[in-house]
Amino acid sequence: MNPFSLEGKAALVTGANTGLGQGIAVALAKAGADIAVAGFIPPDETGTMVKAAGRRFVSVNANLMTVEPVGRIVAETVKGLGRLDILVNNAGIIRRADSLEFSEKDWDDVMNVNIKALFFMSQAAGREMVKRGSGKIINIASMLSFQGGIRVPSYTASKSGVAGITRLLANEWAAKNINVNAIAPGYMATDNTAQLRRDEARAKEILARIPAGRWGAPSDVGGTAVFLASPAADYLHGAIIPVDGGWLAR
């Protein structure tokens, strides 16, 4: 049996209409998983790509600015796919401003999506996984789970929190046969970094520090997600895996 196969599994990916979430959803589908996605932007392109891989696809419309829809998201996933084996907490937002000027709204919006919704999605999925006796939860952390960054105070706080919650849930749920781990993407060419990439001076500084010599692509994260979701990672708990082109090695 292929230890990296996800045949017969069902995965839920939040924020998968584009970018990293889309790359992860498609990679999981190509490894054999049926896919549900949750978000408030229609994931039409992702659905087409998942179906092209021969897998079933369910879309749940939900806004993760609040935790109200998390129970419904899990219920609709189980109803549509018959089970829930894998959760990828990918949905996230970023707001940029100097810390002296940073607003309470920008703090609350980012924290609500990036850490509060992530925890309660994990809780809702974890309850379902405990019933089944197994499960994989993959959180999307960041380089700013390790570093401070600049001009993104709520994002840094939230992603530091993702690292902590990943370890906490791993401690609590490993004995229940639920693996909780995280991927920490480096600087990826996605919507979240569009403003950075438009800043020629800052983009040049960032690129000069990446040993791989390029910004990452969503497909670069897909293989790590497949690994963490697969039986090959059954003894991995509480890990935060950088996929960063060597950024942290500098």
Phi then psi for residue 71, to 5 deg, are -65, -40
Catalytic residue among 155, 215, 227, 247: 155
Total-model pTM: 0.96
Residue-by-residue pLDDT tens, the chain, 250 positions: 899 999 999 999 999 999 999 999 999 999 999 999 999 999 999 999 999 999 999 999 999 999 999 999 999 999 999 999 999 999 999 999 999 999 999 999 999 999 999 999 999 999 999 999 999 999 999 999 999 999 999 999 999 999 999 999 999 999 999 999 999 999 999 887 888 899 999 899 999 999 999 999 999 999 999 999 999 999 999 999 999 999 999 9
Please tell me the predicted confidence (pLDDT) of residue 155: 98
Torsion of CA 7, 12, 15, 18, to 10 degrees: 20
Phi then psi for residue 10, to 5 deg, are -125, 130
Please give the single-letter amino acid code of residue 42.
P
Distances (CA, A) of 55 to 29, 97, 242: 6, 41, 28
Edge-to-edge strands, sheet with 57-61: 57-61, 34-39, 10-14, 86-89, 135-140, 178-185, 240-243
CA distance 83 to 131: 11
The domains found in the chain, sorted by start residue, are: 10-189+217-240 (3.40.50.720)
Across-strand partners of 216? 188
C-beta separation of 14 from 64 below 8 A: yes
In terms of phi and psi (left: phi > 0; alpha: psi -120 to 50; beta: otherwise), the region of 2 is: beta
Catalytic residue list contains 155: yes
CA distance 188 to 200: 16
